[in-house]
Chain A
Amino acid sequence: MFRKKEILAGIIQPETIVGQGVHLEGILEAKGIIQINGTFTGEVRTESDVIVSKEGKVEGPIFAKDLTVGGEIWGDINVRGEVVVLETGKITGNIICQTLVVKKGGIISGRITMHKEEKIKPTYEL
């Protein structure tokens, strides 16, 4: 959680950023943190974390270690660790994760499957 605060505060620089006002389409693949402040249509894959900021919108599946959502996601989520839905966050899709935190105001529409261990086999390969 501390790490996520640092990312959101700009102390830790994500490896990949989709800036506000930019529309990206396709497969967004990285080894490091991906932060989405703009709009993205397609598949997001990383061995690390995904942050969808308040202004961010994603249409498509997300595969990551942890996910923080302040914006909107339409798509299935497959996360090895934690999903945090912030006050402004909205997910429309099925979620697989180990831990789920939904802040007051956060919205989820979909099926939630929670697994016990983080070390599950990833369902994708980079």
Chain B
Amino acid sequence: MYYYIFNPAANAGRAKKLKDKIFKTLNDYEIAGEFLETLKPGDGYNLAKEAKENGIKTVVVIGGDGTVNEIAQNLINTDIALGIIPTGENNIFAKLLGIENWKKAIEILLPRKLKEINVGKVKTENNERYFCAYLKIEKTQKSPTIWQKLSKEIPRTPFELHVEIEEKLEANTLTDLVIINNPAIESDSFNIFISNQGNVPTKLSFKNIKIRTKKSIPTIIDGENFGFTPLEIELIPKGLKVIVPREIF
């Protein structure tokens, strides 16, 4: 039986309007199961924990990257499969998996093709969390103009970044950093992109990395704020079982 966790607040509440359509389509495909809703941040984590304790085999997230991340925390290094019906704003993890929209996602759930994918574990001085799709360190301007906010082109402030990769490589630069975990590429490492004011970004691969900045910089993982630098990031090989499109994987 599938255990659905629906976040009606995803995509600034727009996901709520899709609820009936999604529910009907799941019934049409005869894959309806237990249907639960989150009411506040943290509910997804607790519901996934309950699913694990109750021996559920498949948890399907109906939400965006943040909801997927919250729920995945309890599914990593377990036998529980994660399905995704993307209803968030960006749905980056679903896109990396080749899941284009919620309708396509339901078609993918039916054959239940599984793939074990790598995930990342990030540690700050007093916290740790897994990430599925990406980690981003960037410093945006404190007071962007209304136009910059509307156009989502908020200028970023360069900062001093020190990266130590597997104790054999060190990078120093003034810049932003993005780590992508692309499940479509068979790899035993992450891709790290260090951008630098419009130039071709630095691209490296790694399994373990330490990041320091002169001042603490906020970190975003899977679309949600998560602590500040310094960070330690570690690759967890094949840490998560995900339902994926048969034609891609």
Chain A residues close to B by CB (< 8 Å): 10, 14-30, 37-38, 42
Contact = CB atoms under 8 A, between A and B. Distances in A.
B146 interface: no
6 contacts: A15-B203, A17-B203, A21-B174, A22-B202, A28-B169, A38-B202
Contacts of B170: 24-26
A23 B171 contact: yes
Nearest to B172: A23
A20 B169 contact: no
Interface in B144-195: 165, 168-175, 194-195
Interface of B: 165, 168-175, 194-197, 199-205
Given A21-B197, A21-B199, A22-B194, A16 B171 contact: no
Contact of A23 (B165, B168, B173, B205): B173
A5 to B, nearest CB: 17
Contacts of B205: 15-16, 30
A68 to B, nearest CB: 16
Given A19-B196, A19-B201, A21-B197, A27 B169 contact: yes
A23 B196 CA distance: 11
Nearest to B200: A19
B202 A26 contact: no
A87 B200 CA distance: 22
Label chain A's interface by main secondary structure.
Answer: strand
A14 B203 contact: yes
Contacts of A37: 199-200
A115 to B, nearest CB: 29
B168 A18 contact: no
A27 B196 CA distance: 22
Given A22-B194, A30-B205, A17 B200 contact: yes
Given A14-B203, A27-B169, 9 more contacts: A15-B205, A16-B203, A17-B200, A19-B196, A19-B201, A20-B200, A24-B171, A24-B202, A25-B171
B9 to A, nearest CB: 38
A20 B168 contact: no
A14 B169 CA distance: 18
B161 to A, nearest CB: 9
Given A15-B205, A30-B205, A20 B199 contact: yes
Contacts of A15: 203, 205
A38 B195 CA distance: 12
Interface centre among B165, B172, B200 (most CB of A within 10 A): B200
Contacts of B201: 17, 19
A22 B171 contact: yes
B197 A24 contact: no
A20 B200 CA distance: 7
Contacts of A26: 165, 168-170
Contact of B202 (A17, A29, A30, A42): A17
Contacts of A29: 168
A108 B204 CA distance: 29
Contacts of A14: 203
Contacts of A22: 171-173, 175, 194, 196, 202
A18 B202 contact: yes
Contacts of B194: 19, 22
Contacts of B196: 19-22
Contacts of B171: 22-25
